[in-house]
């Protein structure tokens, strides 16, 4: 950990769950012990009509982290794209489902605008899996409409979004960039969560890639340090190992430094300056 003692280390997408997991404080302390400094935390899905409930719970968890740890934590609030799929597949009228999600996204914008520690709208986007069935086409179209609406809200709130979508290639990066531009949102405020080594596409279209802290980072850093790093850690004690562990971002960063694939300037760009530009925050460590 000594190598990371005076360096910024940010996990751009890490989940917490007070009920089913270790909870905010324990996750933050594990991250801190591994050398981590800053966490960007999206609210968990509601899997119910109470879409605002996990957003309010996240706000309380951020306060706990602030009071009980040395970690700097920021929240992202959004409506996971799977929510509308669940509503419709469980019998809700599609227009009613769309309006319910739109209402919750508007609430997300309100929370962002009222709280300094809530720094963007996300996860939003569309299903990462192929939709099948008679309603597949309309669900895809509605998901994209809500995706663009989320971008409009972010533009008006002057904040970033985190995108949950299918594995992104050049075509998706171009599409997301054009979507953002169509509503006046800068592509630089669009963060593609959980993407492979897509730094070239990010540079080309302005999207900020958030790369899982595993082997793709080794290839990405050889091209550019214009990316963020994440685990997508799932804080669920019944699902250990379903995603990368809490310590993965500090460990990967340490390994890159030790192997001289990354220098301190690159570390600052990935873990501090890129984060500050995306979220309009100041990273302290």
pLDDT value of residue 47? 93
Structure tokens at 156: 């008006």
Considering the domain boundaries, does residue 284 fall inside one? Answer: no
Q: Beta strand pairing status for 10-11 and 190-195? A: unpaired
Give the count of domains, the chain. 1
Q: Mind listing the pLDDT tens digit of every residue in the chain (285 residues)?
A: 677 878 999 999 999 999 999 999 999 999 999 999 999 999 999 999 999 999 999 999 999 999 999 999 999 999 999 999 999 999 999 999 999 999 999 999 999 999 999 999 999 999 998 888 899 999 999 999 999 999 999 999 999 999 999 988 999 999 999 999 999 999 999 999 998 899 999 999 999 999 999 999 999 999 999 999 999 999 999 998 888 999 999 999 999 999 999 999 999 999 999 999 999 999 998
Considering the domain boundaries, does residue 52 fall inside one? Answer: yes
Helix (H) or strand (E) holding 283: none
Q: Pick from 105, 110, 172, 107: which is nearest to 142 by CA?
A: 105
Considering the domain boundaries, does residue 246 fall inside one? Answer: yes
Cα–Cα distance measured from residue 27 to residue 247, given in angstroms and rounded to the nearest whole number: 10
pLDDT value of residue 184? 98
Considering the domain boundaries, does residue 285 fall inside one? Answer: no
Strand positions, DSSP E, 85-178: 118-125, 160-164
Q: Which domain holds residue 239?
A: 2-279
Q: How many CA atoms lie within 13 A of 172 on its CB side?
A: 20
CATH number at residue 8: 3.20.20.140
């Amino acid at each position: 950990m000594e190598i990371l003692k005076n360096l910024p280390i940010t996990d751009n997408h890490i989940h917490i769950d007070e009920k089913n997991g270790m909870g905010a404080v324990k996750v933050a302390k594990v991250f801190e012990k591994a050398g981590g400094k800053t966490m960007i935390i999206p609210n968990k899905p509601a899997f119910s009509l109470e879409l605002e409930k996990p957003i309010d719970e996240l706000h309380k968890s951020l306060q706990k982290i602030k009071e009980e740890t040395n970690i700097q934590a920021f929240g992202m609030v959004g409506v996971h794209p799977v929510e509308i799929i669940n509503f419709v597949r469980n019998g809700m009228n599609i227009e009613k489902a769309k309006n319910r999600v739109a209402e919750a996204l508007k609430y997300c914008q309100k929370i962002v605008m009222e709280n300094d520690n809530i720094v963007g709208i996300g996860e939003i986007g569309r299903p990462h899996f192929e939709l099948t069935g008679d309603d597949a086409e309309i669900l895809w179209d509605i998901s994209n409409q809500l995706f663009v609406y989320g971008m409009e809200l972010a533009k008006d709130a002057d904040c970033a979004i985190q995108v949950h979508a299918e594995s992104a290639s050049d075509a998706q990066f171009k599409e997301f960039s054009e979507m953002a531009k169509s509503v006046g949102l800068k592509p630089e405020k669009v963060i593609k969560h959980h993407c492979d080594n897509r730094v070239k596409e990010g540079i080309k279209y302005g999207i900020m890639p958030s790369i899982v802290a595993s082997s793709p980072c080794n290839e990405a850093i050889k091209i550019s340090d214009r990316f963020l790093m994440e685990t997508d850690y799932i804080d669920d004690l019944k699902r250990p190992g379903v995603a990368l562990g809490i310590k993965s971002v500090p460990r990967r960063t340490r390994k890159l430094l030790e192997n001289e694939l990354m220098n301190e300037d690159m570390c600052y760009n990935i873990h501090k300056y890129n984060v500050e530009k995306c979220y309009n925050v100041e990273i302290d460590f």
